[in-house]
Structure 1
Amino acid sequence: MPVPLVLASQSPARLSTLRSAGVEPRVIVSHVDEDAVLASLPDGTGPADAVLALARAKAEEVVAKHAPNALVLGCDSMLEFGGEILGKPGNAGTAIVRWRQMRGSTGVLHTGHWLVDARNGRAAKQTGATSSTTVHFADLTDEEISAYVATGEPLNVAGAFTVDGLGGPYVEAIDGDYHGVVGVSLPLLRHLLSEFGVAFHDLRA
């Protein structure tokens, strides 16, 4: 029997990534107030620590409210660009402005991972880390930006882009972990699992 994993995320890309690696997690979406979590962080908290705090909040909420005896993974992603942290643009106007700034430039996509092991009702053990990958954006024309934003895909993803979907043609290269950009780093998850004595293949059916 595989070790069951709960994914505290509504991201289709994260679910698809885990499934492609042979893992079929149970999805329980957290309802963390992300703005409140970020506001509670000390001044000067960097993006790598900020996404880790959000991932932790998501995993801990799911354990506390929905899965008290489970192995739970929380994740969160943000793009660091030009000294700013960019989450989901939320609307077409913002997405267009961001892409006009990002085209021909580079940013760093940070994905925080937080793993809570509360199996068998024992005291929960926790661990986490952030995957950070440099992304090189293509020098898009205004027409390309408008066409991409019109698909709706960039509106609800961190940094207004995907590398595994419609945004793939607009990412020239990445330096780091591809899966971390998609939303969940499989190599990093393997390392986190090992801290609890769980091998990655133990998750597979």
Structure 2
Amino acid sequence: MRLLLASASPARRTILRAAGIEPLVEPSGVDEPALLAAAAAQGPVPAAEQVLLLARAKARDVASRAGVEVLVLGCDSMLELDGDVLGKPDDAADAVRRWHRMRGRRGLLHTGHWLVRPGDRAEVGATSTTAVTFADVTDAEIEAYVATGEPLAVAGAFTIDGLGGPFVSKVEGDPHGVVGLSLPLLRDLLGRLGVAVTDLWTLDRPAVPGAADDRTG
């Protein structure tokens, strides 16, 4: 059994690889704005539900074309600040405005996860929520960070595993969820489908814990 990631996110792929899982990758073709607009037409949709809605749509889209020998995982992330939901910035100016608003503040990073087993159409999902406190960064730091282009490619306009790391003062919850994929939550979802996370390990591992890691002192 292999894990098929319904996302082109390099960060999510890196998280899985570091955990011993070499995923197959097939980005979905879901029209995210249209899907959210349709949901909003029925009434307000909380951020934690929006990311789950998108994760489910992505996983189901890719699963509809996948074989029975895989498990399909869809994910989506958004930052919630003062009740407002923030995905990727529209452009550099938007990213700068967001950082002026975010600095010195605390937000909630929601990441939806949806797992589908095409063989029997079993599916489960849940959302990881982590509190993130941003540093009181200067105007010059904001301009320099946005100029790198990194904030334009990620939900919430920040990272904790890249150039944005120094600008995040505190993380309360699972840091993997902030990067884009919660490993503990993935383990729980797999278990609900009767699959152990160790069954998905594909990378070589040392035969003895610590055998390849000389940090015993």
| Distance across 2 between alignment mates of 1:174 and 1:40 | 33
- RMSD of the alignment, in Å? 0.8
Q: Hey, what does 2:206 align to over in structure 1?
A: none
Counterpart residue identity of residue 179, structure 1: H
Q: Does 1:195 align with 2:192?
A: yes
Structure 1 contact 90–156 (Cα < 8 Å) conserved = no
| Distance across 2 between alignment mates of 1:199 and 1:123 | 17
Structure 1 contact 133–180 (Cα < 8 Å) conserved = yes
Q: Hey, what does 1:76 align to over in structure 2?
A: 76
Q: Hey, what does 2:124 align to over in structure 1?
A: 127
Gaps of 5+ in 1: none
Structure 2 contact 133–170 (Cα < 8 Å) conserved = yes
CA apart distance, 1:143? 0.1
CA apart distance, 1:123? 2.7
Structure 2 contact 59–73 (Cα < 8 Å) conserved = yes
Query: Which TM-score applies when normalising by structure 1?
Result: 0.95
Q: Hey, what does 1:151 align to over in structure 2?
A: 148
Q: Hey, what does 1:16 align to over in structure 2?
A: 14
Structure 1 contact 135–171 (Cα < 8 Å) conserved = yes
| Distance across 1 between alignment mates of 2:46 and 2:91 | 25
**What do residues 91-136 of structure 1 show as CA deviations (whole Å, max 9, x unaligned)?**
1100000000000001000000000011xxx330010000000000
Q: Hey, what does 1:37 align to over in structure 2?
A: 35
Counterpart residue identity of residue 144, structure 1: E
Q: Does 1:107 align with 2:104?
A: no
| Distance across 2 between alignment mates of 1:47 and 1:110 | 7
Query: Which TM-score applies when normalising by structure 2?
Result: 0.90
Q: Hey, what does 2:179 align to over in structure 1?
A: 182
% identical aligned pairs: 60
Which of the numbers 151, 155, 158 marks the counterpart of 1:161? 158
SS at match of 1:40: helix
Counterpart residue identity of residue 163, structure 2: L
CA apart distance, 1:75? 0.1
CA apart distance, 1:36? 1.3
| Distance across 2 between alignment mates of 1:50 and 1:152 | 25
Q: Hey, what does 1:117 align to over in structure 2?
A: 117
| Distance across 2 between alignment mates of 1:102 and 1:150 | 17
CA apart distance, 1:90? 3.2
Aligned length in residues: 199
Structure 2 contact 63–117 (Cα < 8 Å) conserved = no
Q: Hey, what does 2:24 align to over in structure 1?
A: 26
